[in-house]
Amino acid sequence: MSNRTTPPRWPVVSLRVTAVLVALLAVAQPVLAGGFLQGFYPLLNAHMIAAMILATAALLAAIAGLLVWRLSGGPNSFAIHYAIMVVACAAQISLGFDRVLILHIPLGVGIFVMAEKFAVDVFTFKPGASVGAGAGDGDGDGDAAESVEVSA
């Protein structure tokens, strides 16, 4: 008789929702900045507000990543990646307020790339599979290590 229970699915769903939100906000940021540069000046305020929402969504994604790790048995990398993004967003917002564009723009490109890559990683994660599934036993022949289940 096995005491294994199915891990809850809601942490994975919450991570996916927040990952999509982060990715969409990251796409919106250069559009808003470009509109400002094109001469539609109210978009600078929208760019600032979207940046704050993006940082908040990244924080929520980091929390969701922690829940996936602790409750659903997923990898801790989601929490770590989104925590790094929160720090990058905080630096990005500070650089934007100080008009340090020589750093603000390249960091924005990095945040955009991170957001899209992390979203792909979240959606390619298979919740039912173990973290190291398919990795094999390390001898390079492609077979997985055998496991022995002991029952009382």
Name residues whose C-beta falls within 8 Å of residue 27's C-beta, 6 or more positions apart in sequence: 112, 116
Neighbouring C-beta atoms of residue 123, cutoff 10 Å: 12
Q: What is the DSSP letter of 137?
A: S
Task: Indicate the pLDDT class of residue 3, thresholds 50, 70 and 90.
Answer: low
Instruction: Give tens-digit pLDDT for 29-79.
Output: 999 999 999 999 999 999 999 999 999 999 999 999 999 999 999 999 999
- For 144: left if phi > 0, alpha if psi spans -120 to 50, otherwise beta; the answer is beta
pLDDT of residue 134: 44
> Of 36, 48, 23, 42, nearest to 115 (Cα)?
23
pTM of the complete model: 0.81
Q: How far apart are alpha carbons 104 and 112 in whole angstroms?
A: 12
